[in-house]
A and B are shown apart, each in its own frame.
Chain A
């Protein structure tokens, strides 16, 4: 089959690889009909995530048709149309039983390594480095899905692929990040980053009942899409974000601030070069510019929600502000499976149509071009869907 493989920094190729096989009896094999490139794939593309191996198949947002199931698969049947959650979760451990699927204790055979980095291992993730298992990903024609009964949601006809594909990651990720904002009536939520997750976070915040959403980015097309979702926007290259946020909130600050950017943040001015230099010298692995700004802007007693991906260590976190302002931090990889049913219902009721975020549709063979276009945000690129 054809698969999108990682061969090094900014070196992604579509090559022929052997078809996947059932390796554990709770596996299923999916024939992929749609797959997407995620913003977090760009961290791999840029070489910021350690323990990638040459030849790893990328991709953790995919859906398709079940073509084979292992003997211990109970619910799925050959022929079912399913969306696959990006975290791999056993469904039986303490965390899975509490629906904290991305913290599954049993889906990472390389847990020892994650323990050395993080103290404990999170769940395995498709196509996302050997630290989180090195499971082959879904930017391919077929994929093996471990614990298939837990990790998939069955889709009845009547939905297009693009309406439901993003249940695999970015819609639940934006939604969980909005839930983490602890929104109550009258709240203002500020969201840094208007990439695909930021876009879903904006719409989710309104679904949950936010009064106002203020979205911060610098790419005109992304700010435009944020406004279409009902947000007010700030271009951080043209305005002082803190000042403007204080102006529109009567000096109090947003009730919740969300970092939907993560470890490769940008900021105008010398601070960017300071963090870029520290990263180059390996004195920090992640650039926390957005997080610093969010902590300073957030109102006293407010909430910081972090869906943006961090991998290692950051420098100069304003801990004094965090503590003295009594802020709460909520974060984590998304417990996708927990959101499958409620979000599918919201789509069915017409409360949201996730296909709004798609700007480009390409063939799987063109994945290398897709990565380049997404990285440089060429041609107004926000979300790319590929079909094998």
Chain B
């Protein structure tokens, strides 16, 4: 089970517990959170909802939908708390504390739901990414282009440079989250001509990174199926990856777009762009849609 799925289960069990309390002792709970106790029926209904979304998360093989239900429920809770805070008879200090707790839960629910929706499954602090794409060139052509490493910056958005430093060693300079530059040395761990290249960061590097690319001849003369598998230990672990994903650095999509640009280079000769084209506006919007645009 991935860390995201474990977090989802934890949130759902917490939700069921809270829901049972709301269902059985709504008046006492009202007092604890600072709401007038005549609202006990609303609190009971909220409890039912908590239990329902909790069970739906535990029952599903992929809990994504259940988590988005939780996010929606959190927003309803916050709205009700806002309404309760207007009341004169409410205990405003307790309501403020409750609101802070619900905001915290909402943030956790949201991050977890978003990560699950994007297919991010962190295991032991590393994010595995698998992407595959069909490219209409022979495994030989693709292998020999990739094996050089030095052309990576032409199609990999985050890679600033890769310099071969030995037969099997190379030095990587990459932009990390929030524009920081990350450098490390990598070595090739497996190299089978026209089939597979595997690499990993050398021990003691700042970044824990490993990956492999496979080239398999597709049937019927349809080119080559290229599969990239990467394991990336982001700085800051699960939370770090969640935070960077939040700012648009979704690793799955990022690698997929890199691979798509690799395909463009191999099939058409270069990466197609709209940056620099004419438009009736003073600033280009290309970068909003095409993250590979460099300025």
Within the assembled complex, what's the spacing in Å between the Cα atoms of A19 and B280?
Answer: 11
Contact A23 B274, CB 8 Å, known A55-B281, A112-B256:
yes
Within the assembled complex, what's the spacing in Å between the Cα atoms of A92 and B268?
Answer: 6
Provide the B259-272 mask, 1 if CB < 8 A to any CB of A, else 0.
Answer: 01001100111111
A54 at the interface (CB under 8 A from B): yes
Q: Which residues of chain A are near B273, meaning CB under 8 Å?
A: 23-24, 109
Count residues of A near B (Cβ-Cβ below 8 Å): 47
Q: Is the CB of B263 within 8 A of A20?
A: no
For the complex formed, measure the closest distance between the CB of A283 and the CB atoms of chain B, giving whole angstroms.
18
Q: Is the CB of A54 within 8 A of B281?
A: yes
Q: Which of A23, A26, A142, A144 contacts B268 (CB 8 A)?
A: A26
Contact A140 B278, CB 8 Å, known A109-B290, A110-B290, A134-B285:
yes
Provide the A74-103 mask, 1 if CB < 8 A to any CB of B, else 0.
Answer: 000000000000000011111001000000
B60 at the interface (CB under 8 A from A): no
Within the assembled complex, what's the spacing in Å between the Cα atoms of A17 and B282?
Answer: 9
Provide the A21-44 mask, 1 if CB < 8 A to any CB of B, else 0.
Answer: 101111000000000000000000
Q: Is the CB of B285 within 8 A of A130?
A: yes
Contact A110 B279, CB 8 Å, known A25-B270, A92-B136:
no
Q: Which residues of chain B are near A140, meaning CB under 8 Å?
A: 278
A111 at the interface (CB under 8 A from B): yes
Q: Which has the most chain B C-beta neighbours within 10 Å: A19, A57, A134, A147?
A: A134
Count residues of B near A (Cβ-Cβ below 8 Å): 31
B9 at the interface (CB under 8 A from A): no
For the complex formed, measure the closest distance between the CB of A190 and the CB atoms of chain B, giving whole angstroms.
38
Q: Which of B222, B223, B278 contacts A19 (CB 8 A)?
A: B278
Contact A5 B280, CB 8 Å, known A92-B267, A107-B272:
yes
Nearest chain B residue, comparing its CB with the CB of A147? B268
Q: Is the CB of A94 within 8 A of B136?
A: yes
Within the assembled complex, what's the spacing in Å between the Cα atoms of A142 and B136?
Answer: 33
Within the assembled complex, what's the spacing in Å between the Cα atoms of A109 and B280?
Answer: 21
Q: Which residues of chain A are near B279, meaning CB under 8 Å?
A: 5, 17, 53, 55-57, 136
Q: Which of B260, B267, B274 contacts A135 (CB 8 A)?
A: B274
B286 at the interface (CB under 8 A from A): yes
Majority SS at the chain B contact face: loop
Nearest chain A residue, comparing its CB with the CB of B218? A94
Within the assembled complex, what's the spacing in Å between the Cα atoms of A25 and B268?
Answer: 10
Q: Is the CB of A136 within 8 A of B278?
A: yes
A61 at the interface (CB under 8 A from B): no
Query: Which parts of A51-71 form the interface with B (CB within 8 Å)?
Result: 51, 53-57
Q: Is the CB of B274 within 8 A of A3?
A: no
Q: Is the CB of A13 within 8 A of B280?
A: yes
A288 at the interface (CB under 8 A from B): no
Q: Which residues of chain A are near B276, meaning CB under 8 Å?
A: 21, 23
A7 at the interface (CB under 8 A from B): yes
Nearest chain A residue, comparing its CB with the CB of B291? A112
Q: 27 A-B contacts, Cβ less than 8 Å apart? A: A3-B278, A5-B280, A18-B278, A21-B277, A23-B277, A25-B269, A25-B270, A53-B285, A54-B281, A56-B279, A57-B278, A91-B268, A92-B268, A93-B136, A93-B267, A97-B136, A105-B263, A106-B267, A107-B272, A110-B290, A111-B260, A134-B274, A134-B286, A134-B289, A136-B274, A136-B277, A147-B268
A contact residues vs B (CB 8 Å cutoff): 1, 3, 5, 7, 13, 15, 17-21, 23-26, 51, 53-57, 72, 90-94, 97, 105-107, 109-113, 124, 130, 133-136, 140, 142, 144, 146-147
B contact residues vs A (CB 8 Å cutoff): 134, 136, 222-223, 253, 256-257, 260, 263-264, 267-281, 285-286, 288-290, 292
